């Protein structure tokens, strides 16, 4: 190769995702909420899930939204780095297997029509597609779409985010009916988008929805950035 690949985590030449970065992935350590997966002090449910249980079955994230995963996601999102997305999917396979989720199909959180046209691709799909192949699961990105445009969630409060995406998604019953769905997103923040997508999938007859995100924003600083 004329140009050796550059690591999407640290920028070093040699591999798309180097061993150093692989070893530095900030995993979410136990104990975490059994439902939404955020770190808690004591095993069980977090306060939010106790007072208002989310409609999805369970949500888990592979890593904390921090370097080198944060850098990798940025590169996948803005530079369409397919090779790096493949490497990340590869890294996630064992994690997903270890969850023992009973899943029929994988669906990425869709972009709105306008954003998709600007960017040309859905960055979540770049990871969700190879992951579904590795897990030998149906990949059905066409089964969930955004039915109206929404404003960016950046800078909105939790309740504003919820309102912004309320009823903004729709799913195809002919694909999702009576199926157990793995809904996938790149970064989970407040979960508003994920809840809106879950609502759409369940309304279309999905049996249950499991949620997987590549990373999880845990600090207040993260929330204002994603």
Alpha-carbon gap, residue 226 to 154, rounded angstroms:
6
217 binds Zn ion (CB under 5 A): no
- Based on the shown chain and the rule CB under 5 A, indicate whether residue 7 belongs to the binding site for Zn ion: yes
| Shortest Å distance, C-beta 216 to Zn ion | 12
Our CA dihedral for 40, 43, 49, 53, rounded to 10 degrees, sits at 150
In angstroms, the CA 109 to CA 27 distance is 22
- Binding of Zn ion at residue 216 (CB under 5 A)? no
Q: How far is the CB of 40 from Zn ion (least distance, A)?
A: 7
Q: Which is nearer to Zn ion, 71 or 164 (CB)?
A: 71
C-beta separation of 110 from 141 below 8 A: yes
* DSSP notation for 150-202: ----TT--HHHHHHHHTT-EEE-HHHHTT-EEEEEEEEESSSHHHHHHHHHHH
Where in 21-60 is the site for Zn ion (CB under 5 A)?
21, 33, 35-36, 46, 49
Q: Which tokens in the block code for residue 213?
A: 């995100």
Which residue stretches of the chain are H helix? 19-23, 47-51, 69-79, 82-97, 113-119, 123-134, 158-165, 173-176, 192-203, 220-225
Least distance to Zn ion from the beta carbon of 125, Å?
A: 23
The helix/strand/coil state of 43 is: coil
By CB under 5 A, the count of residues binding Zn ion is 10
Which of residues 179 and 216 has its CB atom nearest to Zn ion in the complex? 216
Between 78 and 173, CB nearer to Zn ion: 78
- Shortest distance in whole angstroms from residue 20 CB to Zn ion: 5
Part of the chain binding Zn ion (CB under 5 A), chosen from 7-15, 99-107, 137-145, 216-224? 7-15
Nearer residue to Zn ion within complex by CB, 33 or 69: 33
Closer CB to Zn ion, residue 1 or residue 174?
A: 1
Shortest spacing between CB 203 and Zn ion, in angstroms: 23
Binding site residues, Zn ion, CB under 5 A: 7, 9-10, 18, 21, 33, 35-36, 46, 49
């Amino acid at each position: 190769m004329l140009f050796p690949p550059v690591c999407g985590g640290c920028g070093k030449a040699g591999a798309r995702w180097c061993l150093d970065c692989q070893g530095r992935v900030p995993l979410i350590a136990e104990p975490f909420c059994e439902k939404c997966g955020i770190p808690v002090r004591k095993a069980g449910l977090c306060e939010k899930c106790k007072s208002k249980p989310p409609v999805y079955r369970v949500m888990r994230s592979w890593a904390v939204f921090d370097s080198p995963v944060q850098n990798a996601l940025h590169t996948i999102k803005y530079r369409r780095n397919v090779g790096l997305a493949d490497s990340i999917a590869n890294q996630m396979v064992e994690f997903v297997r270890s969850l023992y989720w009973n899943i029929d199909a994988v669906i990425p959180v869709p972009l709105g029509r306008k954003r998709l046209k600007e960017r040309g691709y859905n960055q979540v799909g770049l990871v969700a597609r190879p992951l579904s192949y590795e897990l030998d699961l149906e990949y059905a990105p066409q089964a969930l779409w955004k039915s109206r445009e929404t404003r960016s969630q950046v800078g909105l409060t939790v309740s504003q985010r919820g309102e912004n995406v309320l009823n903004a998604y729709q799913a195809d019953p002919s694909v999702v009916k009576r199926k157990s769905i793995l809904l996938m997103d790149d970064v989970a923040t407040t979960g508003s988008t994920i809840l809106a997508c879950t609502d759409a999938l369940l309304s279309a007859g999905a049996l249950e929805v499991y949620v997987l995100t590549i990373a999880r924003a845990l600090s207040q600083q993260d929330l204002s950035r994603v």
